[in-house]
Structure 1
């Protein structure tokens, strides 16, 4: 076994765990005990497991079939802080454990503070009351490697075990765990253990002698023993929570499963949608997988402080307020986030929880499936009006290729030699690329066969661990042919192809695949991979559309005969690849755009933009194509791609006022007429895509500086400042109105946003919109105030700091200052985010919009002089993004100017 993995000599089979939480202590803290049943597979003189140095171990004991319960001095335990691994020397108990010995049990007692870094068992602060007091509660976040911050354990997915948990808390507090509670009785501590007592005889109850506290009446709650599960899915919480309840009636088992969502009392009224989505999603998952939800209940806990978006703890899902709370002042985007996040986490109850990857190199088995199911398959069934297949292309398909076109990307299956590497692969490759590959496969083999194969895979590995080959085996069995070989390069190799289309006069196409790179400088060894590419050739003849589903490109080149002069590859944008047409064909496609579907047009626009930015084609060709499509376009998602292209050009040329201003004229020229036509208010019967198009039109025209639109925004915001009247601020336009009003305004507008940001009554999405607004000001004194907030942990939660860096990075006036702030404060930021994902997210926000050669050299030199092991992937990807942007500037500035002049924008 690799040295970064635990030895396999001893492994856990069952944990008896008791956790006593004291939220009133100063500082808030917890103490705990565990008796761990061990299987001894090899004779050993030591036991090695994971333990974070922040846990203070006070008692250790060991027993086995041939060893009486014996206390072990804590001096026999050594902890390696870097690997977070503990070694227990068994010399004090006769030298060790014998292979195959029965009844081996390890007793450990420990204590620790409840930290605030959002990892392990940590404290979260609720909203302040009228006196400024902020209540504290505690919850866990163990994925990927933070269970060791809360308990001694074998903190690897393969080491599944059962857990019998007891929670000890003050009697007025709510305690939650993976399973349902079976008893709750008053707790009084037994006589304290001496250092020589082993506490391993059959009469000892785990947790009974934990240290007493000075005040309050206490309750011990015992929970049902879990099925076998991995450590990262164990969860518990303690605090003053309120809840909403519903039920799931399983058609497969006839059982009724209680469903609850918990939040603090002042927020619970915003949690109904999250509960409803859970209720609507569970029966669909049971039907698709033909496997019932296996636990006796399913809770969701909404947390004020949460590092990730949400977490799929089995039976106790957790997540941010923005992931689960929704009210009448929330936008459609906020509603979609609640729906898709809840459905994503529900999918994990099968993908990840009941069947878990063997090691983190197969993280995609969890996250890609949850993304596919939560962002596409389930929303299509529950919210068909959302048109999620098209939106999936606009988000995940594009997001996947935006990252995977960089040399610093990684395969879907990627080696994870240490915990810092594990943290870094929670990215667009594991989530969006993996989901896009699965969507492609589902489309090619058919949904029925796909889900039959998925069900075969899940059933074969229930309560166990699996890897990619197991999934391919299940789908191959369903389809009737080997899918593992054709899918291997999609998961085992980095990158994706671009298909070049060359035309001859006899309707024959020469199709060639090569690796696509954002810098268009593929070197010999990087272009060895040949992908299995479903060409999905669509032709349009006399209004009749036909798609060739059998055409596959698996060699470097092939020829294909088309039956019409109106054609495109990658029908419905199913495949994860780019298509490069000749300039003449792209111009024809622009004129023929309305002959193709929305999904086709989204793919064509995305391809044109990506090919231009990487240098495979001229930017003028992409701009001309977008302008041509815009003349006949009526749908939101193609307009979203047009807006993205123009916004990207404006961002890359942000320091060239001449080009930047001219591109803004293009943006206003396309989107201002939409604003004039659609207005600023939604009609009651407007479908979601109409609402989204209206919001897109207003936001793009405002970003372009259109004076009429900006005047209307200021007009709508003014009553909010003077009268606290927000009736003119449509929720879907809220971020645009907030940010542009602050940008165009001064102190009064800024102070209003500060008030909204600090108000406990603001809904979560409104608070986020206020954060972006505070970053948009152009006033030097107000800019200084925003920067002064950044190091203040009372002003900005750790979970939100990256949002400020992202907002400041979007502000041209402070883009360089934002990057410099991160460089100047790197040590402090590293310390603040030493355990979480926050700094990784902040790097992209602070540096991702830089585009000059000078900035490339400066940022490269900075990161080259610092230890960025924990962030090396995102650093490399960010630097490569600046490289691609600076190359684009050097390559196409004159081409862009020529197009702008030709079209009278310059």
Structure 2
């Protein structure tokens, strides 16, 4: 429930909507839209004032008619109106009060320009020449009010009947299928507002009217519509529950539609899997996906009309790039999951956002091992949650500024990780059964955490709130310290912080921790015992002379701290051919050891020894963990050239042999893991400066530069080839890559080029890169250029200083103004710009710069970024000598 502070930001419930008749007129030539909405309201308490959400819109006529069994009754025109810009509300007062229990119909007309803000109903430009214009919506979390006056809160569900008026030759899309479409005057027009406007035009026969079916009860943030010159691909699926067949379509501009087939194939595969899993049929008559050239987020789960960016959904059908397949499959599976989690059953308020995003990120059982990789979910969310500036998964969201900031790794990845932990503890079948109970009990309604726990409790007979409440209601997670005693081990939980052991005031949470103890029996059989740590400490009897490990398969959301001696033994046992540990176990030990070293719980040398001990591994996932760990250390000590030089030598020693074994060119017979291992080995060898790898990548790019033929650059190696060419080359290479940024053959080429542009070692070209991202790059793409400049150690500080120089109000090109409307873009941009800094001086200067700025829209991200800078600085201060000594011994 909302806090008292949040109450002022919630609409009064004197009246609530039950239905919207919404008409939107889109004029793509003049870049305008206007419309009329008739909202059917239920009067819960007598009132003469109606309060709803609206912002940015020009509101015209406003009146209310009573509703009776025989139709519309008396009409009242609003006597007064006022607008609260801060709360984004309109208040309309009428002469006579509306009695409790009555039904009324409120009518409002509205209009606005189509802007490129990527929020509300906005303009996008695509096509091969970039001049094709179209309009689409992005309403999550609080932008429906930018497009039509409404009750823009998830709890206030209503049905919607949409009518879209547009020019002939364009396509209209909505959550629901069209029931009729005709050009004027053949259209059956029942809305006087449309007829009056059409008759006032010089070319009324060049316009058409499209009417759509009525939605089920729906929250405003997942209402969607679009208008433009779209092409489409079509398929269908047959429900395994009922045998009903539904159409599936992917829409895009004509230049992109040929790259949408894989996304359509994923949709056809995944929808019936979710139906079978939850025993609930997808409830709408169709499911469309629209791929947009300008999009703030990755994708959006609008019910029946998913929308998303080109880089998330398009892939060249002739490409062998496996990363793009994984990206598209993960993106679309996530959004399809929302058709159940979020759309059928919706959180009551944004404090329970994780009920939507956690489940959608968790993914499908059976494929979650691939979609829920440790390095994509558990580890990034643990990194954020180890800060004092973290927040609980279920977080108070009093206003729009806070709502916009909680779309982060905690609401998505930590939520997914703790749901995975619960699933593994209670068993997958019972977990899914409990989730199905939850969904069926709250279909077309709203829910809170308690409702989910009750569903799983019903299927398992386990006290789920007792086990899980602290995982969602408290910030942070524990470090489980293992002390070996006679006849067994003693485990103790304390809050884990990246700054070191937590002080008493930050160590008052006791989590219920699934320990999942892995042991090896006398005949060398691996056994996993499920047990819970419910207090501060617990003694466990076991034979410590044999291999053992807590958190088997890395399903728990915590760090395990062993003694230096035990960690050394674990490293030896992991490296042996007869290792009892799974891939996830090995990855977990590596990542736990590095996290503990970073926080000062253990030595960095011990962590590095474990990493190096895995050099004979053949599995991609192990090498990926090694790659991430070494890259983090290099990135932290980026201003210590002698240390970086020795770390690079270590990377070459580890990864160049893999490059020699696998080569640069794969085959169709290569597995996913082989392709990925080849890619990361080449990327690491190139980053560390191996001459042979660099020369080969330069040679392949040179062929492309001379001939325009990029066939020698495999799709898996686009990013590293482009980056190496820019890093090692001159103006010609930079110019070619910049041109690809502006007109890429595929989204993969585009994102690779954008990131590569920042790899230059020439500061004049670095300045040109920054100017390009400020003036020519699409808003949605700026983050790719920023990442490129961040990875480049030579330009990292230059970028941070340039960001600050362009931030103040007086600046000609202002970051703050440019991204003011994009709730995700600016936050991600801000974090990336400062992410690489790692000294106390950086902390102090960054904090001082923002001290007198209005940071209300990103204060949580600011505090987290400052914590990260200080933590890295402390790590450098604490471990530099140890790192130097360890590298000398190597």
The equivalent of 2:871 in structure 1 is 884
Alpha-carbon separation, structure 2, partners of 1:12 and 1:833: 32
Matched, 1:655 2:639: yes
The equivalent of 1:422 in structure 2 is 403
Conservation of the 8 A alpha-carbon contact between 1:534 and 1:570 = yes
After superposition, the C-alpha distances for 1:419-453 in whole angstroms (9 at most, x for unaligned) are 01001000000000000001011111111101100
Aligned residues: 867
After superposition, the C-alpha distances for 1:85-127 in whole angstroms (9 at most, x for unaligned) are 111112xx32x2111123x010000110011010000000013
Alpha-carbon separation, structure 2, partners of 1:811 and 1:76: 58
Conservation of the 8 A alpha-carbon contact between 1:330 and 1:763 = no
Q: Which one of 765, 776, 779 corresponds to residue 759 of structure 2?
A: 776
The equivalent of 2:66 in structure 1 is 64
Matched, 1:641 2:625: yes
The equivalent of 1:343 in structure 2 is 333
Q: Which one of 34, 40, 44 corresponds to residue 41 of structure 1?
A: 44
Alpha-carbon separation, structure 2, partners of 1:378 and 1:342: 16
After superposition, the C-alpha distances for 1:59-102 in whole angstroms (9 at most, x for unaligned) are 111111599543525x7221111111111112xx32x2111123
The equivalent of 1:377 in structure 2 is 365
Deviation at 1:253, TM superposition (A): 2.0
After superposition, the C-alpha distances for 1:510-554 in whole angstroms (9 at most, x for unaligned) are 101000011115121211111111111111346734333332111
Q: Which one of 240, 243, 264 corresponds to residue 254 of structure 1?
A: 243
Matched, 1:508 2:512: no
After TM superposition, the structure 1 = structure 2 runs for residues 529-678 of structure 1, keeping only pairs within 5 Å, are: 529-541=509-521, 544-563=524-543, 564-594=545-575, 595=579, 596-630=581-615, 632-678=616-662
After TM superposition, the structure 1 = structure 2 runs for residues 302-381 of structure 1, keeping only pairs within 5 Å, are: 302-327=291-316, 328-329=318-319, 331-373=321-363, 377=365, 379=367
The equivalent of 1:15 in structure 2 is 20
After superposition, the C-alpha distances for 1:318-351 in whole angstroms (9 at most, x for unaligned) are 0001111111236211110100110100000000
Conservation of the 8 A alpha-carbon contact between 1:343 and 1:378 = no
Matched, 1:232 2:232: no
Deviation at 1:479, TM superposition (A): 0.5
The equivalent of 2:207 in structure 1 is 218
**Change beyond 3 A, Cα 1:454–1:140:** same
Alpha-carbon separation, structure 2, partners of 1:239 and 1:204: 23
Alpha-carbon separation, structure 1, partners of 2:392 and 2:842: 28
**Change beyond 3 A, Cα 1:13–1:189:** farther
After superposition, the C-alpha distances for 1:695-726 in whole angstroms (9 at most, x for unaligned) are 11110111111122111111121101111122
Q: Which one of 883, 886, 889 corresponds to residue 896 of structure 1?
A: 883
Q: What SS does structure 2 have at the residue aligned with 1:495?
A: coil
Conservation of the 8 A alpha-carbon contact between 2:154 and 2:346 = yes
TM-score between both structures, scaled by the size of structure 2 = 0.95
Conservation of the 8 A alpha-carbon contact between 1:541 and 1:566 = no
Matched, 1:273 2:255: no
Deviation at 1:405, TM superposition (A): 0.7
Q: What SS does structure 2 have at the residue aligned with 1:395?
A: coil
Deviation at 1:621, TM superposition (A): 1.0
The equivalent of 2:439 in structure 1 is 458
The equivalent of 2:144 in structure 1 is 147
Q: Which one of 142, 153, 156 corresponds to residue 153 of structure 2?
A: 156
Q: What SS does structure 1 have at the residue aligned with 2:161?
A: strand
**Change beyond 3 A, Cα 1:543–1:393:** farther
Alpha-carbon separation, structure 1, partners of 2:529 and 2:280: 31
Matched, 1:691 2:650: no
Alpha-carbon separation, structure 1, partners of 2:272 and 2:191: 42
The equivalent of 1:195 in structure 2 is none
Conservation of the 8 A alpha-carbon contact between 2:49 and 2:93 = yes
Alpha-carbon separation, structure 1, partners of 2:333 and 2:604: 39
**Change beyond 3 A, Cα 1:833–1:679:** same
Q: Which one of 797, 806, 809 corresponds to residue 825 of structure 1?
A: 806
Conservation of the 8 A alpha-carbon contact between 1:15 and 1:163 = yes
Conservation of the 8 A alpha-carbon contact between 2:518 and 2:529 = no
**Change beyond 3 A, Cα 1:45–1:662:** same
The RMSD of aligned alpha carbons is 1.7
Alpha-carbon separation, structure 2, partners of 1:796 and 1:4: 36
Gapped regions of structure 1 (runs ≥ 5):
191-201, 381-386
Conservation of the 8 A alpha-carbon contact between 1:536 and 1:547 = no
**Change beyond 3 A, Cα 1:330–1:867:** farther
Deviation at 1:844, TM superposition (A): 1.5
Deviation at 1:765, TM superposition (A): 1.6
Gapped regions of structure 2 (runs ≥ 5):
none
Conservation of the 8 A alpha-carbon contact between 1:819 and 1:846 = yes
With 62-71 and 313-322 compared, the bigger mean Cα shift is at 62-71
Q: Which one of 131, 135, 138 corresponds to residue 132 of structure 2?
A: 135
The equivalent of 1:98 in structure 2 is 99
Deviation at 1:204, TM superposition (A): 4.9
Alpha-carbon separation, structure 2, partners of 1:468 and 1:888: 37
Alpha-carbon separation, structure 2, partners of 1:539 and 1:337: 36
**Change beyond 3 A, Cα 1:128–1:272:** closer
Conservation of the 8 A alpha-carbon contact between 2:521 and 2:527 = no
Q: What SS does structure 2 have at the residue aligned with 1:345?
A: helix
The equivalent of 1:193 in structure 2 is none
Alpha-carbon separation, structure 2, partners of 1:340 and 1:694: 22
Q: Which one of 838, 842, 846 corresponds to residue 829 of structure 2?
A: 842
Matched, 1:855 2:852: no
Conservation of the 8 A alpha-carbon contact between 1:18 and 1:206 = no
Matched, 1:446 2:447: no
Conservation of the 8 A alpha-carbon contact between 1:538 and 1:545 = no
Q: What SS does structure 1 have at the residue aligned with 2:667?
A: coil
The equivalent of 1:383 in structure 2 is none
